[in-house]
Amino acid sequence: MVPPRPCVHLEWPGKGPDPADPGPTPALEVARPGHPACMLIQGDNLHALRALRARAPSSFALVYLDPPFFTKRQHHLVRRQLDRASGEIIRGVVPAFDDRWEGLDQYLSALRARLVVARDLVTPDGSLVVHVDPKTSHYVKVLGDEVFGPDCFASEIIWRYRRWPSKTPNFQRVHDVLLRYVRDATVAPRFRQLYEPLAPSTIATWGDRRQRAVVDDLGRRRRSSTVEEATPGTPLGDVWEIGIVAPVARERTGYPTQKPEALLSRLLEACTHPGDLVLDPCAGSGTTLVVATKLGRRVVGIDESAAALEITRRRLRGLGVHPLEERVVFRTRALAG
């Protein structure tokens, strides 16, 4: 594996040295037996990532990291329950996760520590996708170049969605940013080409048959010819129009920042094969675990929020899956006589 070569670095107050080896390595122990192809770890993801690195380095074809977005607020989960006595639906609100920070420097330090360890978990042909928003994506991109090496930057995917307009003297923010890094730029990446439908204007001009370029003796494209075979569409671009999880959607759990299954399906189908291992260190409501299970991938999710894990378990139970549950432990070495 080629180590990242020095490149432009991002500096911030209190950045500190490379956090790759911060003290004793934690371990994992089984808290509840279940299905080993689907694993759930409760605890701080930095400890859990380090424990996984000791157990299974370079094993995950895809790490999808959807951290808190530096919103500077506490996020709540909205629960709706039937009150048996009155027959009414009662709406309850419980804390889900805390996204308050002392400042951007603390946020970036926390993210960097996790990126450094998560990188070691990716297979040589695998990738890591970090999901952020435009408030921090420019910092995270430089940070990603630093941790992986600039040659490992693979794509910036813009997830464009529609939502209820907010009152703001600015353009509406209607996109998130997903930055994809490959583990090793010298290895052919694990990638399956996906397609999107042809534009109506393309179909009107060229029809729905596959086009083949006709080149001259010097290899220059001169014209296209149409072959009999139907076209699969146009290779998928890096701007994805996918709806957010609507309030009335069946998949909606009430967990704040829940991502749509369609987004994760696309990512997993492009970056992994059936049977591959997928890791989500910020599992939240368990969208990645659900999608991975449906697509026949093996998956590990980590979260420190009890509310998140409860929802994830419930969603997985709906698929007939009871995940193997683990927790992080620190073993203290017994003192010699």
125 is a site residue for ligand SAM (CB under 6 A): no
Site for ligand SAM in 132-161 (CB under 6 A): none
To the nearest whole angstrom, how small is the minimum distance from the Cβ of residue 145 to ligand SAM? 23
Nearer to ligand SAM, 41 or 61 (CB): 41
For the chain, the distance separating the N- and C-terminal CA atoms, rounded to the nearest angstrom, is: 42
The least CB distance from residue 117 to ligand SAM, in Å, is: 12
In the complex, minimum distance from the CB of residue 214 to ligand SAM, in angstroms, rounded to a whole number: 46
- Interface with ligand SAM (CB under 6 A), residue from 39, 45, 118, 123: 45
Region of 254 please: left (phi>0), alpha (psi -120 to 50) or beta: left
Cβ nearer to ligand SAM, comparing 137 with 231 = 137
Closest residue to ligand SAM, judged by C-beta, is 284
- Kindly calculate the radius of gyration of the chain based on its CA atoms and give it in whole angstroms: 22
Locus of tokens 């107050």: 13
Cβ contact 195:233 at 8 Å? yes
What token pair was written down for 91? 């709406």
Give the β-pairing of 277-280 and 298-303: parallel
By the rule CB under 6 A, 258 interacts with ligand SAM: yes
Tell me which stretch binds ligand SAM (CB under 6 A): 82-90, 194-202, 216-224, 255-263. 255-263
Question: In angstroms, rounded to a whole number, what is the distance separating the alpha carbons of residues 328 and 313?
Answer: 18
* CB 192 to ligand SAM: min, Å: 22
User: Residue 95 Cβ, how far from ligand SAM at the closest point, in Å?
Assistant: 10
Region of 191 please: left (phi>0), alpha (psi -120 to 50) or beta: beta
- Residues 6 or more apart from 275 whose CB is under 8 A from it? 296, 297, 298
Buried b (16+ CB within 10 A) or exposed e, 41-52: bbbbbbbbbbbb
Of 7 and 174, nearer to ligand SAM (C-beta) is: 174
Distance in Å, CB of 244 to ligand SAM, minimum: 11
Question: Do the Cβ atoms of 279 and 300 come closer than 8 Å?
Answer: yes
Q: Which of 144, 284, 301, 323 is in the footprint of ligand SAM by CB under 6 A?
A: 284
Binding mask 53-92 for ligand SAM (x = CB under 6 A): -------------xxx------------------------
Member of 268, 287, 289, 293 binding ligand SAM (CB under 6 A): 287
- Spatial contact of 236 and 270, defined as CB atoms under 8 Å apart: yes
Stretch in the footprint of ligand SAM (CB under 6 A) among 122-130, 186-194, 227-235, 280-288? 280-288
Nearer to ligand SAM, 67 or 126 (CB): 67
Q: CA 309, CA 315: separation in Å to the nearest integer?
A: 10
Binding residues for ligand SAM (CB under 6 A): 44-45, 66-68, 97, 255, 257-259, 282, 284-285, 287, 302-305, 308
